[in-house]
Amino acid sequence: MLRRRKGSELKPPPKSPPHRDDEEKRREKEADRRERRPKNWTCVDSCCWFVGCICSIWWFLLFLYNAMPASFPQYVTEAITGPLPDPPGVKLQKEGLTANHPVVFVPGIVTGGLELWEGHQCAEGLFRKRLWGGTFGEVYKRPLCWVEHMSLDNETGLDPSGVRIRPVSGLVAADYFAPGYFVWAVLIANLARIGYEEKNMYMAAYDWRISFQNTEVRDQTLSRIKNNIELMVATSGGRKVVVIPHSMGVLYFLHFMKWVEAPSPMGGGGGSDWCAQHIKAVMNIGGPFLGVPKVVSGLFSAEAKDIAVARAIAPGVLDMDVFGFQTLQHVMRMTRTWDSTMSMIPKGGDTIWGGLDWSPEEGYECIAKKMKNNDTLTVEQNGNGSLGNTKHVHYGRIISFGKDVADAKSSEIERMDFRGAVRGNNLVNTTNCDVWTEYHDMGVEGIKAVADYKAYTAGSLLDLLYFVAPKMMKRGSAHFSYGIADNLDDEKYEHYRYWSNPLETKLPNAPNMEIFSMYGVGIPTERAYVYKLSSASECYIPFQIDTSANGGNDCNCLKGGVFNVDGDETVPILSAGFMAAKGWRGKTRFNPSGIGTHIREYNHAPPATLLEGRGTQSGAHVDIMGNFALIEDIIRVAAGSTGEDLGGDRVYSDIFKWSERINLQL
Amino acid sequence: MLRRRKGSEPKPPPISPPHRDGSDDDEEKKREKEAARREKRAKNWTCVDSCCWFVGCICSIWWFLLFMYNAMPASFPQYVTEAITGPLPDPPGVKLLKEGLTANHPVVFVPGIVTGGLELWEGHQCADGLFRKRLWGGTFGEVYKRPLCWVEHMSLDNETGLDPSGVRIRPVSGLVAADYFAPGYFVWAVLIANLARIGYEEKNMYMAAYDWRISFQNTEVRDQTLSRIKSNIELMVATSGGRKVVVIPHSMGVLYFLHFMKWVEAPAPMGGGGGSDWCAKHIKAVMNIGGPFLGVPKIVSGLFSAEAKDIAVARAIAPGVLDMDVFGFQTLQHVMRMTRTWDSTMSMIPKGGDTIWGGLDWSPEEGYECIAKKMKNNEIVEQNGKGSLDNTKHVHYGRIISFGKDVADAKSSDIERMDFRGAVRGNNLVNTTNCDVWTEYHDMGMESIKAVADYKAYTAGSLLDLLYFVAPKMMKRGSAHFSLPNAPDMEIFSMYGVGIPTERAYVYKLSSASECYIPFQIDTSADGGNDCNCLKGGVFNVDGDETVPILSAGFMAAKGWRGKTRFNPSGIGTYIREYNHAPPATLLEGRGTQSGAHVDIMGNFALIEDIIRVAAGATGVDLGGDQVYSDIFKWSERINLQL
């Protein structure tokens, strides 16, 4: 205490308060300091600390992940699910198969990458970057710019001026659609196992937005494919190619086969035996030979799942008008400029797809099945449902206005013909609507007329589309046709607009060629729709699917306004299988040289665990590209097998029964 | 004070010391405690947390900057550059688009050695997960992650020069094969972007990618690459309405395309069976960029001791890592073994022997004066190379390899040479059992190594013997004579950079005789000093583009093929286009728009403009004929070649 006092005594008088205060002050100061310290830390610093912690842990995990041996995930998977089967490539390599016939891949719609070669100001820095495929980063960053560049000119169906979007070439065009989402990659990897490499695998990438003939006019894509096939046949010692088209690629390749044998300038001038000399087999995967009902809803109201993938990518963002522009209409305008979608409008009219009162799939019973791997038994009875209590679904009515119309007997439906209705009586004020969807030209009366017709079959559907979107259909009808030929020798069928319709063309004269129809079954697939008028807001698409229409217990085919049937989630069995099952079976007028056809169905089994990713037994439209059984079939054929060696047809569905019901002159 | 004491009094006796002292002690203790608590608090924060805090700070700032960068308009860097350096010239594509040029003739790119990407199609266990990933090009991540595995896969079989069993490495195809060598390091990308401006796209641009490791004919045998190129050229000519292609080979691609032109007209099965007028029908012009027509001296040092800069790029990628034996294996030898299995390197061994490259006492470039120049843009170096000043010592460029600097400088009569050709090989004194690396040097033995050194000086002619002597297995695999096709309307351009010192001859020494080591190395202590600054670090330099000396790139176009000669029977027009090197003025310019360096020249605006003009239909005469800065014509005169 004395020492202390001494110290304080030295201080100058004005500063010396009573001693006790001195002590207290000090203590207060200390307390203050103590409090201030943590305060300093809390605000920004603890935030930094938190971020730092997360980052460090993240890096540590990343490091561990990188240091992990590559076989570790497989090891874990095997520990959980038991030993995995060898991938087909490894299995068949052990059997001694080696690369034999060169292979050509023809990708479908949507799955191929597109990159920018010339663009407007807003697309600066995107030269040779993918606008379609990859990460789709630009959709979020500059959506309007993106839509503007992805759209085509709505008169010509070609590039708008100042924009050049071109397909990516090479195997990278469609091996992965987006990072981690394989399309062809699994098949490529398995083929590589038995010795394939880039010199004997060719990705026939094309711009899937434009019409088939325009790919030749603009990019000379068909010539390129012809040239590459010829090159591969020559460099592999005369071994013919095995062509593997997927989805819309199936139609594209039908078009190619006609083009290549047709005389120039419209065709490729390859001569009438080109296909016979260069093609061993065409192995169609999930081919929409006769079209896809889904496309109708896509064109009619932009509501399909696959075609308007752009909408699916960012459903939340695009549906709301957050950005102050009508996103859905923009998407619809964009997809409407894509001529290729029109190649998949249902073909063959009522003859194929059924009328008001009948359809080939009649009696099909929808069973909501939960199949697991190896559980094939349950599926056998599926579809055989001729049980008495099942209500017949009128699949023939592809579009019905209201659920009661869909269920009613044809005699009970009062229909008003819309064809004569006045168009262009435009009551809605459309000056605010900068989007072109053609609906604004229709007027309220036209819309009402459409709804009053009540039910549309495949035949009247075409009239409907001509009515609601005349400009689009005018472009489309220059490139595609949807009828059935009465006389295939008619000269008009030499025009390219018929080449992608199997009902209006003859297969090439190549008796040794083989055609496979490979597709998934066991997944409910859109087949017909219940529509309603949407609330009449300005600038809006006037029709929409009536999602409240559900079948209930007695008809579980109807879900959310959509009648489902068996298929691969996109293409109904009828479309994928009919030509191989009946239209081309044996020598028919569509198949004059008697090319052998084989149906290979793959029953869908969802992946057993999450670890399997998209599964090895999937039957879904795109996921089937990773189906081991399908890959094995392809590799066997590429290595030299024929359809007979594979075991001929492999059928789980009622495709033959349904095909019988179709009354088509053969 | 009272309060204080009260507080301390309830404490249990053992802690309570005598009261009088206690008043002090107590206080101090408390303060200590508080201090300790404070410290503890701080300590709690210091160790891991401040680390975390630091990382967090950095990350947050990084993210913020990244966000700013992404939010920045794309034209911002250009704006900054322009603010600093003044308005930039339009890129040639934009400039020529304004002139109204449009895509006309299809274009074929032939990449050179090293620049093309290679990817894995089949590999051993160690390359798991690399299927269709680039082993060459891209980020080279695998070189660091699994170097031995990488070397094993990149090497070829040393007997056949083809794949080792169980490994398939294949060239990447398409424009992506060589647009960028590594991320951000362009090769063809700038040219492609400029061509795209005037309307080119993938249908009329074709990258003739090939596996640059294997010999030219083997690319056809294994991959049918030559057939593929032929077929694609035919397709492009057909789909563009009969317009012939303009071919743009770069570096070794020049030799590859020479090979192609002979192959395509030769009858099958050895050739492509295109008929004797194939080139005349399909090719408008061949615009060679930096072509090593007569070989590159650099390759010699590369093969002899794996010391070249470009060829052993693998070494350059990680010089520190590869030179040291950190990993316990002899990295340099591994690299040497790997590059030696690449047959294509042998296509660039100096050709023409003493006639072209000079003998012991003369060389075509004699009298060339090396001036260490620091050129800036637009500063033309006319006086360079004309140095016939008396005080300059003549450099004996003809002696491509000399053992010791005195040998390099001495008159030929002063050099005592012992012929190595008869020396005994295979008398292997060094214990090589430890050396698992195969470089052929271990088969040579000490005596023959000495014999090699005793020969003192090698000219281009004797160099071949030398290579046969030190690497007999390798040399057995690689040889050709060449005359141009019969296509009088075709044009051949030789485009190359000048103004950069380029390796031309070497001073060697025996390396200290450690086990398992390459017995020769460049004597980096040999410097020319003031009177001869051509010699630097054991290397005699001459004018060129840093890789190819002018003589090799220009002689054929300047003399060998000029007019109707026996090498050019139909009189194909030849043009020399030289581009004077000017280093980038500022860092912002990146690799410069006026560079003359071997690879960077691909971004040279003048060169790109020439190419675009020809692609759009111009002829060599339209471009202005020859554009020459160097002494190539003078030097060519000195070469006494029967034409």
pLDDT value at position B405?
76
pLDDT greater than 80 at residue B270? yes
Name the residue among A20, A23, A117 with its Cβ closest to that of B196: A117
Task: For A256-285, write each residue's pLDDT tens digit.
Answer: 999 999 998 888 888 899 999 999 999 999
CA atoms of A207 and A210, how far apart (whole Å): 6
Token readout for A589 is 């007028």
Query: For residue A66, what is the nearest residue in chain B, using CA coordinates?
Result: B145
Q: Cβ contact (<8 Å) for A125 and B239?
A: no
Nearest CA-CA distance, residue B605 and chain A, Å: 19
- Average pLDDT for chain B: 76
Backbone torsion region of residue A424, taken as left when φ is above 0, otherwise alpha when ψ lies between -120 and 50, otherwise beta = left
**Active-site choice (A247, A297, A343, A575):** A247
Q: Cβ contact (<8 Å) for A188 and B45?
A: no
Summarize the confidence of residues A216-233 as an average pLDDT. 93
Summarize the confidence of residues A87-107 as an average pLDDT. 92
pLDDT value at position A371?
40
Task: Using the CB atoms, write b or e for B223-234: b if 16+ within 10 Å.
Answer: bbbbbbbbbbbb
Assess contact for A109 and A335: CB atoms under 8 A: no
Q: Which residue has the higher pLDDT, A316 or B73?
A: B73
A247 in active site: yes
CA atoms of B244 and B503, how far apart (whole Å): 37
> Residue A599: pLDDT band by 50, 70, 90 thresholds?
very high
CA atoms of A472 and A466, how far apart (whole Å): 8
B598 in active site: yes
Task: For B590-619, write each residue's pLDDT tens digit.
Answer: 777 888 888 889 989 999 999 999 999 999
CA atoms of B551 and B544, how far apart (whole Å): 8
> What are the Cα distances from residue B29, in Å, to A26, A78, B32?
15, 64, 5
Q: Which of A240-244, A265-269, A500-504, B343-347 has the highest mean pLDDT?
A: A240-244
**Phi, psi angle pair for A93, to nearest 5°:** -65, -40
pLDDT greater than 60 at residue B516? no
Q: Which residues contact A357 (CB under 8 A, 6 or more apart)?
A: A394, A396, A409, A410
For each of the domains in chain A, give its residue range(s) and CATH number, in order of start.
97-110+182-290+501-524+567-661 (3.40.50.1820), 337-366+392-496+525-565 (no CATH)
Q: Which residue has the higher pLDDT, A418 or B566?
A: B566
Tell me the whole-structure pTM to 2 decimals. 0.83
What DSSP line would sit under A284-330, residue for residue? EES--TT--HHHHHHHHHS--SSTTHHHHHSHHHHHS-TTSS-HHHH
Beta strands A201-203 and A176-178: pairing type? unpaired
Name the residue among B170, B175, B231 with its Cβ closest to that of A198: B170
pLDDT value at position A13?
47
Name the residue among B75, B129, B227 with its Cβ closest to that of A124: B75
A404 in active site: no
A497 CB neighbour count, 10 Å cutoff:
19
Q: What is the CA radius of gyration of chain B?
A: 32
As a residue count, chain A comes to 666
pLDDT value at position B17?
46
Query: For residue A22, what is the nearest residue in chain B, using CA coordinates?
Result: B1
CA atoms of A222 and B386, how far apart (whole Å): 57
Summarize the confidence of residues B265-277 as an average pLDDT. 86
> What are the Cα distances from residue A446, in Å, to A64, A386, A546?
64, 41, 20
Task: For B383-403, write each residue's pLDDT tens digit.
Answer: 444 433 334 456 778 888 888
Summarize the confidence of residues B168-192 as an average pLDDT. 88
**Active-site choice (B595, B598, B600, B626):** B598
Residues of B in contact with A128 (CB under 8 A): 175, 179, 192-193, 196
Task: For A108-132, write each residue's pLDDT tens digit.
Answer: 888 888 999 998 888 888 888 888 8
**Phi, psi angle pair for B341, to nearest 5°:** -80, -10
Name the residue among A33, A127, A197 with its Cβ closest to that of B196: A127
Q: Lowest-pLDDT range, A232-241, A483-492, B31-40? A: B31-40
Nearest CA-CA distance, residue A83 and chain B, Å: 19
Summarize the confidence of residues A191-209 as an average pLDDT. 92
CA atoms of B106 and B104, how far apart (whole Å): 7
**Phi, psi angle pair for A472, to nearest 5°:** -65, -45
**Active-site choice (B155, B215, B251, B347):** B251
Secondary structure letter of residue B520 according to DSSP? E
Token readout for A212 is 């088939």
As a residue count, chain B comes to 643
pLDDT value at position B440?
61
> Residue B343: pLDDT band by 50, 70, 90 thresholds?
confident
The candidate with the shortest Cα–Cα distance to B246, out of B298, B287, B198, is B287
pLDDT value at position A611?
65
Q: Where do we find the tokens 């280093």?
A: B583
Token readout for A26 is 């000090």
Instruction: Select from A197, A202, A239, A264 the residue whose CB has the most chain B CBs within 10 Å, as the one to mutate to test that interface.
Output: A197
The candidate with the shortest Cα–Cα distance to A160, out of A338, A344, A341, is A338
pLDDT value at position A570?
87
Q: Where do we find the tokens 């595609």?
A: A480
Q: Cβ contact (<8 Å) for B132 and A30?
A: no
CA atoms of A356 and A368, how far apart (whole Å): 26
CA atoms of A418 and A456, how far apart (whole Å): 11
pLDDT value at position B378?
41
pLDDT value at position A60?
86
Q: Cβ contact (<8 Å) for A50 and B38?
A: no
B217 CB neighbour count, 10 Å cutoff:
14
> What are the Cα distances from residue B618, in Å, to B285, B431, B609, B611, B614?
10, 64, 11, 9, 4
Nearest CA-CA distance, residue A218 and chain B, Å: 10
Residues of A in contact with B56 (CB under 8 A): 47-53, 55
Q: Which residues contact A7 (CB under 8 A, 6 or more apart)?
A: none
Cis ω before B269 (30° cut-off from 0): yes
**Phi, psi angle pair for B602, to nearest 5°:** -65, -15
Give percent of chain B above pLDDT 90.
19
> Residue B210: pLDDT band by 50, 70, 90 thresholds?
very high
Q: What is the CA radius of gyration of chain A?
A: 31
**Can you list the positions of beta strands (E) in B127-203?**
134-136, 168-171, 180-182, 185-186
Summarize the confidence of residues B618-631 as an average pLDDT. 89
pLDDT greater than 50 at residue A4? no
Q: Where do we find the tokens 């060629």?
A: A513
B122 CB neighbour count, 10 Å cutoff:
17
> Residue A314: pLDDT band by 50, 70, 90 thresholds?
very low
pLDDT greater than 80 at residue B627? yes
Nearest CA-CA distance, residue A197 and chain B, Å: 7
> Residue A55: pLDDT band by 50, 70, 90 thresholds?
confident
**Active-site choice (A175, A306, A407, A568):** A568
Q: Where do we find the tokens 């998934």?
A: A520
Query: For residue A165, what is the nearest residue in chain B, using CA coordinates?
Result: B201
Q: Lowest-pLDDT range, A202-206, B265-269, B392-396? A: B392-396
Residues of B in contact with A230 (CB under 8 A): 231
The candidate with the shortest Cα–Cα distance to A519, out of A368, A371, A651, is A651
Task: For A618-643, write each residue's pLDDT tens digit.
Answer: 888 888 999 999 999 999 999 999 99
Q: Which residue has the higher pLDDT, B509 or B23?
A: B509
> Residue B446: pLDDT band by 50, 70, 90 thresholds?
low
Q: Is B67 helix (H, G, I), strand (E, B) or coil?
A: helix
pLDDT greater than 60 at residue A580? yes
Classify the C-alpha dihedral B278-B283-B289-B294 as positive or negative.
positive
CA atoms of B397 and B383, how far apart (whole Å): 21
The candidate with the shortest Cα–Cα distance to B208, out of B191, B243, B233, is B233
> Residue A51: pLDDT band by 50, 70, 90 thresholds?
confident
Secondary structure letter of residue B205 according to DSSP? E
pLDDT value at position B431?
44
Task: For A58-96, write each residue's pLDDT tens digit.
Answer: 888 888 877 766 667 667 767 776 777 788 999 999 999
Helices (H), A322-396: 327-336, 349-353, 377-380
Query: For residue A137, what is the nearest residue in chain B, using CA coordinates?
Result: B70
Q: Is A554 helix (H, G, I), strand (E, B) or coil?
A: coil
- Average pLDDT for chain A: 79
Q: Which of A419-423, B32-36, B96-100 has the highest mean pLDDT?
A: B96-100
CA atoms of A560 and A532, how far apart (whole Å): 12
pLDDT value at position B432?
43
Q: Is B318 helix (H, G, I), strand (E, B) or coil?
A: coil
pLDDT greater than 80 at residue B558? yes
